[in-house]
Structure 1
Amino acid sequence: MRFHTRKWVKPEDLNPNKTLFGGKLLAWIDEEAALYSIVQLENPHVVTKFMSEINFMASAQQGDIVEIGIDVISFGRTSLVLRCEVRNKMTHETIITVDRITMVNLDENGKPKPHGKTQVEYVKDRLSAKDSGL
């Protein structure tokens, strides 16, 4: 799993128990999944269709740093299915796992659009292909 993003837990991210609010963490996950999908599918019109059961296993406190990791499970015709894990960088504990997040590629009218992708592409490989004239 590649951990792309780190978030610093601040006072405004806390619940009444003074730990990281689950809704805030889910918003961070949704944003990370969207950003990852936009880069992979090369289209800014990507939306979340489905998020599987989530499993909270630990929490985070104010001042902790959490890392959000994303892996691709599969490419559909118009979709991308991801897996996510969030871990606490300070305690080394897994905070949450989400087994499946389905992101859908849309056209300019908001309708599902085939993306033509079949494997993970890295920006460095795209840059190399442009430099070599491919």
Structure 2
Amino acid sequence: MQKSDRQLQQEDRKTGVSRLLDDTISSTFDDVKAIIDARLELMKIEFSEKIALLAAVLVIALILLGGTAYLVTTVALFIGELSGRTSLGFLAISLIFIGCFIYFTRFRPSILKEWIQKFIISLYD
């Protein structure tokens, strides 16, 4: 059985349409895949930037903490020299820290949060 020209043309058209549909679907799939891959790479870059920022802040905080510890010790020794007893200098510094702790926990517990919030907001303005 031989197919007529008309049947062959219809089959060619079907294969042409189905081929076009297959090409469209595969190219759309490839485009979506490329978009997802690009988005994942962008998320990796953004995540690495945030991790680097966090690490930098931690290093700076450690440096500040070390410097503050030496400063507090120096002030305590200086007050101790002025008073004649080294222990009195450390007692004075300890009382200042305890006073700050009581102030921020008993009398004005929200003020520290407000200061930190204002500082963070000022960083993004």
TM-score (norm 1): 0.24
- Kindly indicate whether structure 1 or structure 2 has the higher relative contact order, using CA contacts under 8 Å at least 6 residues apart: 1
Q: Which has the higher helix share?
A: 2
Q: Which has the larger radius of gyration?
A: 2
TM-score (norm 2): 0.25
